[in-house]
């Protein structure tokens, strides 16, 4: 009889495990974010009346973020290099009628030109008197094998993605420390967690951000009012690949990998939930990219599993490995 009860319990546990795994396959964000989306603060309450400075606001995720924030009545500062595109985004944000002309500042800025960041910060403070949220979103990527990538491309990736973000954060930080209030958001990437071929320099620039901001968080221990959110999206619809550097890489050699891209609007909805709830480190991706990240981060012997006979094929399909 004991034996029967044991096997029934084991079967139930197995069923629960299978159900848990199957429901995981519906998720498009990590569990902390999912919990916040169900039980946490909603963005409408937490973000209304804030002053939000977004870099990389001229397209993709930054543009959509500006658009969704404009619906919440948030004052916006839109930055990127292309002023005309920023004006277009501003007009789009004004269309929904929640903001007035004076609530949106278009502030062209080159992340690589760190000497201009201090003046830009002063301009925002003069206009709105405060910066509640800095969204370090602007960035560039590349799609080329290491052997084909020119050193200049590696330098630009570090200058824009890493040094540009560090510089702007350093300019805004003293103001936030004075008030002991503010949110700093950093757009990293799942590529900085799970290696993928053709983006060595991009992954390195995002990993550098991780190191810098992890340490900054420990240094802000005495400033509990300042929070840091690191967002790691997987593939999202945007212009990032059209704008990516390709080195002397020819497109015909790009691996035929399904990219499982997420809609930009969905990605931004989830980013807003994480902002509203001050989540520290979040993953956003469609399946199976999210599953791949969990496997990479948490499953022991992952290399052995992924390099086995069938594992190599799975790795190739999931874009973890590149075979010539």
Ligand X SMILES: NC(=O)c1ccc[n+]([C@@H]2O[C@H](COP(=O)([O-])OP(=O)(O)OC[C@H]3O[C@@H](n4cnc5c(N)ncnc54)[C@H](OP(=O)(O)O)[C@@H]3O)[C@@H](O)[C@H]2O)c1
By annotation, the residues acting in catalysis are 202
Size of the site for ligand X (CB under 6 A): 31
User: Using CA atoms, how far apart are residues 26 and 191, in angstroms rounded to an integer?
Assistant: 21
Among 131, 187, 318, 320, binds ligand X (CB under 6 A): 187
- In the complex, the smallest distance separating the C-beta of residue 298 from ligand X, rounded to whole angstroms, is 20
Among 33, 52, 61, 135, binds ligand X (CB under 6 A): 61
Among 33, 50, 58, 117, binds ligand X (CB under 6 A): 58
Q: Which residues are bridge partners to 136 per DSSP?
A: 186
Among 43, 62, 182, 247, binds ligand X (CB under 6 A): 62
User: Using CA atoms, how far apart are residues 142 and 240, in angstroms rounded to an integer?
Assistant: 9
Helices (H) and strands (E) in the chain, counts: 13, 7
Under 8 Å between Cβ of 132 and 179: no
User: Using CA atoms, how far apart are residues 52 and 177, in angstroms rounded to an integer?
Assistant: 16
Where does this chain touch ligand X (CB under 6 A) — which range of 77-85, 169-177, 249-257, 305-313?
A: 77-85
Is cis: bond before 288, omega within 30 of 0? yes
How many CB atoms lie under 10 A from the CB of residue 288?
16
Query: Please, which of residues 224-253 interact with ligand X by CB under 6 A?
Result: 233, 235-236, 238-240, 243
Among 112, 120, 157, 220, binds ligand X (CB under 6 A): 112
- In the complex, the smallest distance separating the C-beta of residue 184 from ligand X, rounded to whole angstroms, is 14
Answer yes or no whether residue 319 interacts with ligand X by CB under 6 A.
no
**Residue 8 burial class via C-beta count within 10 angstroms: exposed 0-12, middle 13-18, buried 19 and up:** exposed
Query: Please, which of residues 290-309 interact with ligand X by CB under 6 A?
Result: none
Where does this chain touch ligand X (CB under 6 A) — which range of 30-38, 50-58, 299-307, 314-322?
A: 50-58
| Residue whose CB is less far from ligand X, 99 or 240 | 240
Angle, helix 165-179 to helix 117-128, in steps of 10 degrees = 40
Tokens of 234: 């997987």
Under 8 Å between Cβ of 148 and 247: yes
Answer yes or no whether residue 140 interacts with ligand X by CB under 6 A.
yes
Answer yes or no whether residue 139 interacts with ligand X by CB under 6 A.
yes
| Residue whose CB is less far from ligand X, 106 or 187 | 187
In degrees and rounded to multiples of 5, residue 232 shows phi and psi of: -115, 90
Answer yes or no whether residue 157 interacts with ligand X by CB under 6 A.
no
Give the strand order in the sheet containing 104-106.
104-106, 75-79, 51-55, 133-136, 182-187, 226-233, 281-284
| Residue whose CB is less far from ligand X, 98 or 114 | 114
- In the complex, the smallest distance separating the C-beta of residue 139 from ligand X, rounded to whole angstroms, is 3
Which single residue brings its beta carbon nearest to ligand X?
Answer: 60
Answer yes or no whether residue 160 interacts with ligand X by CB under 6 A.
yes
- In the complex, the smallest distance separating the C-beta of residue 170 from ligand X, rounded to whole angstroms, is 16
**Residue 299 burial class via C-beta count within 10 angstroms: exposed 0-12, middle 13-18, buried 19 and up:** exposed
| Residue whose CB is less far from ligand X, 33 or 160 | 160
Answer yes or no whether residue 286 interacts with ligand X by CB under 6 A.
no
| Residue whose CB is less far from ligand X, 264 or 277 | 264
| Residue whose CB is less far from ligand X, 42 or 158 | 158
Q: Which of 78, 56, 59 is nearest to 69 (CA)?
A: 78
The residue ranges that bind ligand X (CB under 6 A) are 55-62, 80-82, 85, 109-112, 137-141, 160, 187, 189, 233, 235-236, 238-240, 243
């Amino acid at each position: 009889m004991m034996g029967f009860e044991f096997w029934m319990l084991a079967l139930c546990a197995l069923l629960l495990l299978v159900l848990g795994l199957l429901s995981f396959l519906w998720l498009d964000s990590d569990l902390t974010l999912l919990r916040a989306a169900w039980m946490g603060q909603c963005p409408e309450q937490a973000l209304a009346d804030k002053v939000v400075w977004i870099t990389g606001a001229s397209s993709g995720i930054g543009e959509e973020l500006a658009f969704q924030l404009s619906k919440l009545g948030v004052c916006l500062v839109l930055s990127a290099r292309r002023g005309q595109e920023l004006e277009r985004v501003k007009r789009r944000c004004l269309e929904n009628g929640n903001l007035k002309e004076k609530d949106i500042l278009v502030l062209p800025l080159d992340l690589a030109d760190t000497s201009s960041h201090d003046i830009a910060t002063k301009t925002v403070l003069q206009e709105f008197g405060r910066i509640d949220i800095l969204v370090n979103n602007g960035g560039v990527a590349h799609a080329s094998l290491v052997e084909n990538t020119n050193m200049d491309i590696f330098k630009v990736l570090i200058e824009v993605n890493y040094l540009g973000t560090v510089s702007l954060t350093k300019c805004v930080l003293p103001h936030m420390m004075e008030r002991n209030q503010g949110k700093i958001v950093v757009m990293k990437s799942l590529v900085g967690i799970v290696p993928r071929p053709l983006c060595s320099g991009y992954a390195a620039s995002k990993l550098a951000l991780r190191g810098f901001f992890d340490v900054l968080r420990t240094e802000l221990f005495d400033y509990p009012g300042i929070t840091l959110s690191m967002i790691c999206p997987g593939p999202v619809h945007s212009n990032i690949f059209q704008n990516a550097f390709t080195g002397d890489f020819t497109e015909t050699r790009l691996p035929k990998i399904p990219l499982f891209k997420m809609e930009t609007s969905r990605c931004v909805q989830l980013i807003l939930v994480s902002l509203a709830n001050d989540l520290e480190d979040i993953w956003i991706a469609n399946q199976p990219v999210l599953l791949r990240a969990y496997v990479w981060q948490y499953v022991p012997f992952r290399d052995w599993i992924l390099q086995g006979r069938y594992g190599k094929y799975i790795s190739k399909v999931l874009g973890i490995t590149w075979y010539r």
